[in-house]
Amino acid sequence: MLGIPMARWLLPKHDPWSTPFAETLLSQLSLAPGLHILDVASGHGIPAFYLAEQVGPTGRVLGIDLSAGQVARARAIQGTQLPWLSFACHDVRTLPDELPLFDRITGNLSVMFFRPNREETLRGLIRHLRPGGQLVLTFPSLGTFDSLWQRVDHELLRRGHAAERERFHVYLAERPSAEDARRWLAALEMTGISVAEQPLEVASGDGPAFLHHPLLRGGFLDDVYECFEDQHQADAMMTAISEDLARFAPLIALRCAMSAWKGAVD
């Protein structure tokens, strides 16, 4: 990233989740002015705004997201600035054929949205990557919040929730690992493959602060609740777990960044 001017669109310091993952993404990404970049699962623009400023007016950045609300929020933040940046609603699993080729394809916290067939979704993405182009994606990899999941598993077993525990294990087994990422990239004949993991501690209080944590309840804890048909049982179990935070703290996420090139690495 040498020679690129200091960005005004800095990654937001107040975002304890998206920003650390974006920093991991940027540490793997080769950037230069004039590049055309596709940013998938772009959300409200972390790191699409940063990328747009780095490529400058001779470049182009297209951020896509399945959520119309996220796209609208990103456009509102953008206003009339960075006119070479645009946002659109697309499902990364079914990209339109008319989408052009890009020099870089990025996706912060994106791989979880590639279900059910992540390798096939990657294959579709790579179709829109120029020869010699780079793909960099981040995701919370298998092992994220392991201490919590061990505590949940113990409580499911102790309370005799056999069916719920079986569903819970299916959720855990479905989470992608760093080794999965290496395997996908190798199967797709990418080169210069790099898959790196970095820990990220997520702070939380106990009780209601844990149960309503904006990150945990917005995604990870919901997986536990979805294992239950009786939500009263789920509430009772999760309340007990939330009051026992000391037994599974700290909460450690694994930031995984997968990077590879299409064809020979420059």
The answer to whether residue 6 is domain-embedded is: no
The answer as to whether 10 is a domain residue is no
Shared domain check, 186 and 98: yes
Instruction: Give yes or no for residue 264 having a pLDDT over 90.
Output: no
pLDDT at 140: 95
- Of 21, 17, 86, the C-alpha closest to 49 is 86
Average confidence (pLDDT) over 197-205: 95
Residues 78 and 182 in one domain: yes
Q: What pLDDT score was predicted for residue 3?
A: 44
* Inside any domain, residue 2: no
Nearest-angstrom CA–CA distance, 53 and 35:
11
Is 4 within the bounds of a domain? no
What confidence tens digit (pLDDT) does each residue in 6-60 have? 458 889 888 999 999 999 999 999 999 999 999 999 999 999 999 999 999 999 9
Structure confidence at residue 7 (pLDDT): 54
113 and 182 inside one domain: yes
User: Is the residue at 116 inside a domain?
Assistant: yes
* pLDDT above 70 as % of the chain: 96
Task: Check which CATH number belongs to the domain holding 63 and give it.
Answer: 3.40.50.150
* Average pLDDT of the residues in 112-138: 95
Domain count, the chain: 2
Q: Are both 27 and 124 inside the same structural domain?
A: yes
CA 128 – CA 40 distance, rounded (Å):
12
- Note whether 236 and 185 are same-domain residues: no
Compute how many other C-beta atoms are within 10 angstroms of the C-beta atom of residue 9: 20
Residue 240 structural domain: 146-172+205-248
